[in-house]
Structure 1
Amino acid sequence: MTFDVREDGFACLLGSREVLRSLAGAPAFAIARGAPQVKMVRGNFAIDDAPFDEVAPAFARLDGADLLLSAQPGGAPLLRLAIDGEALRVQTLEPGYDRVRVDLAALPGEHVWGGGEQMSYLDLSGRRFPIWTSEPGVGRDKSTELTRLMDEQGMAGGDYWWTNYPQPTFLTSGLWACHLGSSAYSVLDFTCADRHRVEVWEGAFTLEFFAADDLPALVGRLAGRFGRQPPLPDWTIGGAIVGLKDGDNSFARLAAIMEAGSEVSALWCEDWIGIRQTTFGRRLFWDWSWNEARYPALPGRIAELAERGVRFLGYVNPYLANDGSQFAEAQALGYLALRQDSEEVYLVDFGEFDCGVVDFTNPAAMDWFAERVIGREMLDFGLSGWMADFGEYLPVDLRLHDGSDPMLMHNRWPVLWAEANARAVASRGLTGEAVFFMRAGFSGVQAHCPLLWAGDQSVDFTRHDGINTVITAALSAGLVGNAYSHSDVGGYTSLHGNVRTADLMMRWCELGAFSPVMRSHEGNRPDDNLQIDSSPQLLAQFARMSRVHKALAPYVRHLSDEAAATGLPVQRPLFLHYFEEALFAVQDQYLYGADMLVAPVVEADAAARDVILPGDTPWRHLWTGEDFAPGTHTIPAPYGEPPVFYLPASPFAPLFARVRESG
C-alpha cells in the first residue's frame, strides 16, 4: 500500500488500485464520540448509539511515512494513518473519539460478498450489515407473524443481518477484499453504489487489504490469513450422524434406523448430560458430565457402538448452570466472570435457569475447562466429537479477569470458546480425528473450529429462517475461510405451532446428503415434530440419502484435502468458478467442489425447480445420466432425486455414475 497525497486530498493505493479516496468536499473519514445503549435478553441484543462532536478531518499532511488528518488546513491532527504492508492503521488522536467512519472506493456496479456467515443474502450489495455475534432470531422477517410474536418475547424475532457468526471481512467483484482488524461493534454498509462504508466503535484499528488475479486465489488468501481447518476425518464423511435425545431408548431407535439400511457413522446424543424441561422445549442440563440416570451403562454402550464402527458424540457449551456441581467448582477456583459492582458471580438468564460465564480471559480458567471438563469428562470418557454450542451471549456489563472491555471482547468470545475446544482436542493428540462443530464465530475462529453448523433454523421453508438459509450460510462463510459447513437435518426451532412437515424432512435429508457432514437433529420440541424414524417413508428417505452421502465420500475426501491445501471451501457459489455477473446473487444452489452442482429443493411441495447450469460445456444429470446444455432448465425433483449434475469430463465421473445405484 502507498499514500498518494494530492492538492485536493489523498488516496490509498493497493498496488495501482485505488481503495480509498478522500477529497476536501468528500472526506473519506469521520470521527465522533459515542454514547452506546446495549440491552440483552437471552442472547438477543438491542444496540443503539447517540454519537456527538462529529468531525470529518479531510486535510492531510505527511508526518514521516504517516499521514495526519485535520479538520482545517494546518489544524490540530485528529487522525493518524499509517501503512503496514498491505494494512492501513487508523488511530484517533483526540481523547474520547471512539467512533470512526471510513468510506472505501467502490467501482461502478461492484458486487460484495462475505460478512461472515450470513443467512439472508449472499450478495451484500445495497444493504447494511452490523457485525455483532448474537442469537440469529426466530423468523428474521419483520413482515411475518412469527417474527412479531418472537419480538414480543425477549426481542427474539431477529432481522436479515442477525447471525451467530458475523465477520467484518468482505470481497468484491473487483477482485479485492478488506478485513477490519477490530473486535468492536461495527457495520459494513453497502447502501451506496459509489462507496463501501465501514463504521467502527473503536478509536484504533487496522484495515487489511487483499487482491488477486481471480476469485479462487482471493478466497485462498483469506483462508490463509485466518487459518485453514484440517481435513475432515473419514468417519465424519463416511455416513450420517444420527441425532437422538431420547435417553437410553436412543440406542434401540438407532438400531432400527440402521436395520432400515441407513449408513451411520455416529450417534449424537446431546442429552448425555441430562435434560431440563422448559416452556421453550426440552433443554439440556448444563453441567458437563455423564448423566447416569438418563444414560445408564453409557461407557459400555459406547464400546458396543465402537465395535460396529459407530462413534458417540455429545454436547457442551461455555456456561455452567448455577445448580450444577461444576459451577460450584469453578466458583471456588475464581474462574467465573464477576459483576462489575461486587465480587458476586455474574449470572446470565438462559430462559428459566441461570448460568455463570467461564472467564476465558483467565488462562487458568481456559486450561481448567479444556482439561477438567472437555478433556477428562468428554474425550477421556469416549466421546469422538460434540456440538460446541453458544458463545454469543457474553454480556457487556460484567467484569473480566484481564480487565478488558466487554464491548470489545463480546465478538471475540466465540474465538476463545473455539480455542478452548481445540486445545482440549490437541492435548489428547486428536486434532483431525475428534470433531466439534460450532455455530458462533468471529474473525479467527477458522484457526480453531474444524466444522461449522448453520445454527437454529425454523422448521420450515421461510425465506429468512428456513431450509434455504443454510445454503447461504455455507456459501458466505466459505468465502472468508471456513471450508466446511452443515446443518440440522429437519431444522431446529419449533414455536407457536410451527412444526415440521414430511415434505420438509424429505427435502432436508436430500440437502444433508450433499453436505460434507450429514447430521440429523430432533429439534427443541421432539415430541411435537416429525423425526427421521417417525414413518416408514421418512426412514426410507433418510436411509437412502445416507447411502448417497457415503457413496460420495471419496469425492468429499478429495474436496477436504483440497480445502486444507488451497483454502477453497467444499460448498462454493457458482461465481467462484464461473465469474459472471448474472450469477453473483445466486444463493439457492451451489457447486460441490468444481465438478458437481447441487440445486436443493427449498420450496414447499415442489415437484421440480429451475436450475442454472453455468459455463460452456454440458452437465450430466446425476440420476438419469442425461446431458444438459448450459443455461436454465426446469428439472423434475421427485423425493430422493434432488437436481444434481456433474461434469462428464470429471475424473470422478465413474464414481458419480455409481452414486445413483447406492440408493
Structure 2
Amino acid sequence: MKRRDFLRVGAGALAATSLPHDVCAQVPAIKTHSLGDFILAQAATRLQVAHRSAPDWIIWETVADDFLTAEIATADIREFGTPEGSFEITDTVSGAFTHPTIEAIVIDGNRALVTGTLRGSARTVGYKLAFEAVSPSHLRFVITVDAADVNRIRLTVGSVTDEAIFGFGQQLTYVNQKGFVLPILVQEHGVGRGQPVVTEIIDVLADRGGGTPLVTEAPVPHYLTSRLRSLFLENIEYSTFDMRQSDQIAVKVWATTMTGRILYGRTPLELIEAFTEYTGRMRVLPDWVHEGFILGTQGGTEVVRRKIDTVNNAGIPLAGVWLQDWPGVRVTSTGRQLWWNWQLDETYYPGWKQLVADLERQGARMLTYINPFLSTEEGHNSLYTEALAKDYLVRNDDGTPFLNQNTTFSAALVDLSYPDARSWIKGVIKKEMMEKAGASGWMNDFGEALPFDGKLHDGADPAVWHNRYAQEWARVAREAIEEAGRGDDIVFFDRSGFTQSPGVATLFWLGDQIQNWSEYDGIKSAVVGMLSGGMSGASLIHSDTGGYSAFKFDVAGRDIPLIARTPELLMRWTELNAFTAVLRTHEGLVPAISAQFDSSPELLAHTARFTKVYKGLAAYRKRHVTVAASHGHPLTRHLFLHYPEDRNTYGLRYQYLLGPDLMIVPVVDKGTTSVEVYWPEGAEWTDLWTGASAGRAGEWTRAPAPVGRPAVFLRKGAESTNEIIEGLKAADVLN
C-alpha cells in the first residue's frame, strides 16, 4: 500500500518522506491553542494534539464521547504461584462517572487547563485535564477529579484499525499488542505462559504459577505506534491498556490522579529517544564484556576449574565466569537452588581468591548472584538475623516478617522503602560481593514479589511501591557500584524492571525461559522480549543461552527428562545470542538432563565458533552500545524502527536488526535448516557468510540456515561493512 503524501505547512513542516503512511486525521478543529512546540485543538468534545513542526499530523486525540471515566472501586488482590510473585487483581466498581463535557480551556503560556464535568448515577463531579509542554518533544498531562472517593481514572484515546501498537516493556509473546488488554504490573512471568499442556501442569503443581502470554517481569506503561503516536504514564501504580477495540486505546490507572506524557518524534527512533529522556538511558558496557562469552557454571572450585580448562583448551574466548552458587547450594524438589545468605561459602569454594586472580590473569572476570530475599534457615541466616533485629524487612499486619514462598522454602524480603535498609543491603553488596568475593558483576535477580498487603517503613503504600520496587532494586545495585568507585567497570543484570529502570540498570536479561522452542516461554519468547523491551528503553537485553527451566521425573533414582535442552536447541540459542548484547550461558535448573556447551565435541566447536563471532563483532557492537547510551536506541532492533513505512514489518516477531546494518533471522523451530526472510523496502542486503546478494525489497524468500551458519545479512552500502567484515575475519570465522 502506498503512503499518502503530507501537506507542507510552513518552513518547519516535515518532508513527506519522514512520516508514515496515512497519519493525517480528517477531523476539523474548531479552536486551537499553542503550548510551546505543541498545538492543542478542540472539536466539540474531542481533543487533538499536533506539533508545530507538522501541524496537520495528529499525534494524540481523544474519542468523541466518553474519553474520560472516573470510578470508585475496590480491588481484591491475590498473590499466588510457586515461587510467589504472580498476582490476580479483581476490581469491583461501585460508582462510575462518564460523559465528559468540556466547559473551558484556559491557556497560560505553555500550559492549558481543560475543565468540565462527569456524570454519575447520583451526582455530577468536576474534572481537570492539565497540559504542559515541558520540552520540544514532551507534552505532559495530568488528570484529576473533584471527588475524594474516586480512585480509578480511565482515559480513552483514538486509534485506527490498521495501527500497530508496540512497546509496553519486555513483552514476551507478541510484538504488536493490538487486540489485547495488557496488565502493567511487575510480576513473575510464570512457567509455560500459555503453552498448552505445560502451563496446565504447572498451574496444578505450582499454585497457578503457569502464567499467561501477557504477563512479564518488566512491564512499562508506554507505547509507540505505526502512526508514530506515543504515550506513557508517569504513574507507578497498577494500570491497564485495553486495545481490543480497533478505534481506541483505553488507559486505566488505579490511582486518584493520572499523569503521563504525549511524545513527538519524526521517526520511531526519535520517539524512543524522547521517551528515554524521561526514563534515563543505559550506560556503556565495560570493554571486558565484549571479549568473549560469560560461562555460567557451578559446583565448587574443582568443578569450575575443570570447566575453565575445557573452555581454554577449546579455544573459546572467555570474558567471565558466572557462579550463581557462590553462597552455597541447597537442593530442593525443583533442582539445585542457593542459600540466600549473601556471603561466600568458602567450604564449597576453597581457594576462591586464587580462582579470581587466575581469571584476572587471563583477562576474565568473576560474576556472582544476589536477590533481595534473605534465607531464614539456621546456619544460613546471619543476614536475616541482622536485618530482622534492625527492622529492615517487609512485615505482615501482625509485625512478623513477610515470608515469600519459593519452592520448598520461604525467605524474607528487604524493605527498600526504608533508607537505612537500602544502605544496609548496599553495604552487603560492597563488602561481601565486591570486596570479599572480588565480583565484577552479578545477576540482580527477582524484584517482583512485594505484597500488596505488606507493611513498609513509615507507612509507605505497597500498592504504590509494588512496581517501583523493581526499579529501586536496580538502583540499589547501581548506587553500590558507584559508591565503590566502580560504576563503569561492573555489570549487573536485572530481570524485573519498570519505567525508569533503564536509567539505573546496566543490563537486562529476560528471566527464566523454558528449554524448548515455544512461542510463549521458549526460544521464541527470548527474541520477542528483546525487541519489545528495546522499544521501551531497555536498550541492552540478553537471555540465558539455552533457557533455564527444565523438568524431569525421578524413577528409581534415575532422572527421566520431560522437558530439557537438546543439543540442537542449545546450538540455535547460541547462534541467536551471539548477535545480541551479551553471550552468557546457564546450566539450567536441572543441569544433569540438559545439553551443555561441553556435552560433546560438536557442541564445544559450535560454542567456540559463535563466541568468536560475538567477539569479532565487538567494534561494531561497541559503537551501537554507545548510541544506546547517548540516544536510548536499542542495540537489537525490530525492523519497524528503521522501516516504519513498510507495513510488512509490523507483524515480524522473529527477525531483527543488530544496530542498523546486520539483519538476523534466527532459527527458532526444531529441525529447521532454512528460514522465511522478509526483505524490507528501502534497503538491499548481502549474505554475511558468502557476500552474495540476498532477496528483493518488499518480498519474502526462504534462505538457507544450516546449523553453524544462521541467516544473517549485511546491509549494502553500510559504513560499518569493513568494520564488520574485518572483525569477523580477525576472529577466524569468515573466509
TM-score by length of 2: 0.87
Aligned to 1:366: 422
User: Residue 39 in 1 paired to residue 78 in 2?
Assistant: yes
Shift of 1:476: 0.8
Name whichever of 49-58 and 328-337 sits farther off: 49-58
User: Residue 326 in 1 paired to residue 376 in 2?
Assistant: no
User: Residue 266 in 1 paired to residue 330 in 2?
Assistant: no
Shift of 1:551: 0.8
User: Residue 77 in 1 paired to residue 125 in 2?
Assistant: yes
CA distances 1:152-199 after superposition (whole Å, capped 9, x unpaired) = 121111111110100000001221210012112111111111111101
User: Residue 567 in 1 paired to residue 639 in 2?
Assistant: no
| 1:147 aligns with one of 193, 199, 216 | 199
Shift of 1:207: 2.1
Shift of 1:243: 0.1
Shift of 1:215: 1.4
User: Residue 99 in 1 paired to residue 121 in 2?
Assistant: no
Aligned to 2:732: 662
Matches within 5 A, 1:96-495: 96-141=149-194, 144-152=196-204, 153-248=206-301, 249-323=303-377, 324-340=381-397, 342-371=398-427, 373-381=428-436, 382-495=438-551
Distance change >3 Å, CA 591–CA 22, structure 1 → 2: closer
Distance 2:362 2:62 in 1: 63
Shift of 1:613: 2.4
CA distances 1:488-540 after superposition (whole Å, capped 9, x unpaired) = 00100112511111110110110111111000001111122111111111111
Distance 1:612 1:76 in 2: 54
Q: What amino acid sits opposite 1:69 in the alignment? A: G
Contact 1:57–1:78 (CA<8 Å) still a contact in 2? no
CA RMSD of aligned residues (A): 1.8
Distance change >3 Å, CA 653–CA 278, structure 1 → 2: same
SS of corresponding position for 2:367:
strand
Distance 1:149 1:586 in 2: 30
Gaps of 5+ in 1: none
Q: What amino acid sits opposite 2:385 in the alignment? A: A
Distance change >3 Å, CA 560–CA 185, structure 1 → 2: same
Distance 2:653 2:712 in 1: 15
Q: What amino acid sits opposite 2:459 in the alignment? A: G
CA distances 1:98-148 after superposition (whole Å, capped 9, x unpaired) = 112110122452211001100001111111111111111111116x11100
Contact 2:98–2:119 (CA<8 Å) still a contact in 1? no
Distance 1:651 1:166 in 2: 35
TM-score by length of 1: 0.96
CA distances 1:601-626 after superposition (whole Å, capped 9, x unpaired) = 10001111111222344311111121
Aligned to 1:555: 620
SS of corresponding position for 1:518:
coil
Shift of 1:19: 2.0
Distance 2:118 2:519 in 1: 46
Shift of 1:43: 1.2
Shift of 1:2: 5.8
Shift of 1:11: 1.2
Taking every aligned residue pair, what percent have the same amino acid on both sides? 32
Distance 2:361 2:260 in 1: 52
Contact 2:59–2:229 (CA<8 Å) still a contact in 1? no
Distance 1:406 1:279 in 2: 31
Shift of 1:93: 1.9
Name whichever of 503-512 and 32-41 sits farther off: 32-41
CA distances 1:579-631 after superposition (whole Å, capped 9, x unpaired) = 21110121101111111111111000111111122234431111112111433
Shift of 1:422: 0.2
Name whichever of 617-626 and 441-450 sits farther off: 617-626
Distance 2:505 2:157 in 1: 31
CA distances 1:15-47 after superposition (whole Å, capped 9, x unpaired) = 342623354xx2101111122111112112222
Contact 2:695–2:701 (CA<8 Å) still a contact in 1? no
Contact 1:92–1:98 (CA<8 Å) still a contact in 2? no
User: Residue 54 in 1 paired to residue 96 in 2?
Assistant: yes
User: Residue 13 in 1 paired to residue 32 in 2?
Assistant: no
Matches within 5 A, 1:594-613: 594-613=660-679
Distance 2:691 2:103 in 1: 66
Distance 2:705 2:346 in 1: 45
Distance 2:407 2:453 in 1: 19
Shift of 1:353: 1.5
SS of corresponding position for 2:672:
coil
SS of corresponding position for 2:215:
coil
Aligned to 2:581: 516
| 2:598 aligns with one of 512, 515, 533 | 533
Q: What amino acid sits opposite 2:116 in the alignment? A: L
Q: What amino acid sits opposite 2:517 in the alignment? A: F
CA distances 1:248-273 after superposition (whole Å, capped 9, x unpaired) = 21121121122111111000000011
Distance 1:260 1:129 in 2: 46
Gaps of 5+ in 2: 1-37, 107-111, 134-138, 553-561
Shift of 1:362: 0.7
Distance 2:102 2:651 in 1: 39
SS of corresponding position for 1:432:
coil
SS of corresponding position for 2:177:
coil
Distance 1:98 1:190 in 2: 22
Aligned to 1:586: 652
Distance 2:391 2:161 in 1: 55
Q: What amino acid sits opposite 1:662 in the alignment? A: D
Aligned to 1:626: 692
Contact 2:129–2:144 (CA<8 Å) still a contact in 1? yes
Q: What amino acid sits opposite 2:197 in the alignment? A: E
Shift of 1:550: 0.6
Distance 1:92 1:616 in 2: 48
Distance 1:146 1:365 in 2: 39
User: Residue 30 in 1 paired to residue 69 in 2?
Assistant: yes
Distance 1:656 1:336 in 2: 50
Q: What amino acid sits opposite 1:291 in the alignment? A: D
In the comparison of the two structures, how many residue pairs are matched? 657
